[in-house]
Amino acid sequence: MRRDEGTLHSAIGTLSTNRMVKRRPSPVDSKAGPLTDGPTARALLAWYDRHRRTLPWRAKPGDIPDPYRVWLSEIMLQQTTVTAVKPYFEKFLTLFPDVFALAAAPTEAVMSAWAGLGYYSRARNLHACAKAIVEVHGGIFPETPDALRALPGIGEYTSAAIASIAFNRVATVVDGNVERVISRLYAIEEPLPGSKPQIKALTTALVPEDRPGDFAQAMMDLGATLCSPKSPSCILCPFSGSCAAQKRGDAEIFPRKTPKKEGQLRRGAAFVLLREDGAILVRTRPDKGLLGGMTEVPGTEWSASFKAKDVTTLAPIEAEWTKLRGHVRHVFTHFPLELTIYAARCSKRKSAPQGARFVSLDALDQEALPSVMKKAITFALENFPQ
């Protein structure tokens, strides 16, 4: 029998909200001088109360946050923008309105709903985490960072964010926005990622015990709006007058970053086979590895040493393969990819080879197609002669 998740969450949230602990002393940075803890935190929260963003996963003022929404949004927002996440979040809530529905869903349905959002290991971990919460915790989210970190796909940042925002636990939440704000507040010269421990320590000292969840969200909102990467609106900032970088007049240069090495270009080929009844040949990638469990058109391995000679011998079936002019380009986190597209047609009586299947073009939106595969199929449809 399903538990009354909302009632239990409300009780937990109320107990968490009532925790009050004595404040810690103000942070002091030897290079930039001290900032006062109380007034600085209060100024930020006063700004947040007036200017907080309205987000589909964020509880309204006075409401108890829903841990399921908080968790889902935090996983989706990793390496992704709020604008990109909103439609996916709303779709997920429609398909999987609570953790029980998500845990019970087929893996294919979860991957399909995630398709296009990227970093697909997050979707696999999301599904595994939902199952663990249901099977191990009876559908109730743990509220401490340590207990949350024991769940699949939840690391140090995500556990702190969920504990803080959903349960008002005192935890240090540091994302890219917070790194930028703190780096500017103290004019931290050491580049990222080396400065992460210092940033975390300074953030920890600023977190107020009475409203840690609001403080975490306020820091995120500040970094996403006023304390933007290129053109910060320092005059409107609640930290105005207390920010070392503002006083120096060079806020834009923070945070300092160590230049990233660009990944080596990889190449490969993709085979787009169109059946005369309007179906296309696809297969599912192995569960582990890049794009694990996602749908793809058959293709070769991707490597820096890829050679296009005799590549059609690797095609899924014998057919009159046409090499299309141009390439499909896609950039992953660690490397850019360039795909050569080969296209062919076959009779509707043609059977799919082992490990593959034909899917109608109309049904492709129900498949877990990553962006690179959508590009390959679109490229073939637009460039393959009728």
DSSP secondary structure string for all residues of 132-167? HHHHHHTT----SHHHHHTSTT--HHHHHHHHHHHH
pLDDT for residue 198:
97
On the CB side of 299, how many CA atoms lie within 13 Å of its CA? 24
CATH architecture for residues 266-383: Alpha-Beta Complex (3.90)
Looking at the chain, the domain(s) classified CATH 3.90.79.10 span: 266-383
CA distance 12 to 15: 5
Quick one: how far is CA 284 from the chain centroid? Answer: 22
Q: Cβ distance 115 to 80 under 8 Å?
A: no
Residue 166 main-chain phi, psi, to 5 deg: -80, -35
b/e per residue 135-150 (b: at least 16 CB within 10 A): eeeebbbbbebeebbe
pLDDT for residue 20:
29
Q: Cβ distance 74 to 161 under 8 Å?
A: yes
Q: How much is the pTM?
A: 0.77
Bridge partners of 338, per DSSP, are: 267, 329
How would you classify residue 301: left for phi > 0, otherwise alpha for psi between -120 and 50, otherwise beta?
Answer: beta
CA distance 342 to 312: 8
Tens digit of each residue's pLDDT, the chain (386 residues): 333 333 333 333 333 333 323 333 333 333 333 334 333 789 999 999 999 999 999 999 999 999 999 999 999 999 899 999 999 999 999 999 999 999 999 999 999 999 989 888 999 999 999 999 999 999 999 999 999 999 999 999 999 999 999 999 999 999 999 999 999 999 999 999 999 999 999 999 999 999 999 999 999 999 999 999 999 999 999 999 899 999 999 999 999 999 888 799 999 999 999 999 999 999 999 988 899 889 999 999 999 999 888 999 999 999 999 999 999 999 998 899 999 999 999 999 999 999 999 999 999 988 999 999 999 999 999 999 77
Rg, the chain, Cα only:
25
Measuring CA to CA, which residue among 307, 336, 312, 337 is closest to residue 324? Answer: 312
Looking at the chain, the domain(s) classified CATH 1.10.340.30 span: 5-253
Check 5, 74, 143, 179 and give the catalytic one. Answer: 74
Quick one: how far is CA 308 from the chain centroid? Answer: 35
CA distance 376 to 148: 39
CA distance 255 to 183: 5
Return the SS3 of 65.
coil
Measuring CA to CA, which residue among 142, 161, 174, 372 is closest to residue 270? Answer: 372
CA torsion angle 98 101 105 109 (round to 10)? -50
382 annotated active-site: no
CA distance 189 to 244: 11
Query: What residue has token string 């059609």?
Result: 312
DSSP tag of 194: T
Which helix (H) or strand (E) covers residue 243, if one does?
A: none
- How many helices and strands, by DSSP H and E, does the chain display? 14, 9
- Direct distance between the N- and C-terminal alpha carbons of the chain, in angstroms, rounded to an integer: 56
Before 193, cis peptide (omega within 30)? yes
pLDDT for residue 385:
79
Residue 31 main-chain phi, psi, to 5 deg: -90, -40
Class of domain 5-253: mainly alpha
pLDDT for residue 118:
87
> Which spans in 168-209 are helix H?
176-185, 196-206
Measuring CA to CA, which residue among 250, 254, 273 is closest to residue 321? Answer: 273
pLDDT for residue 9:
39
pLDDT for residue 23:
32
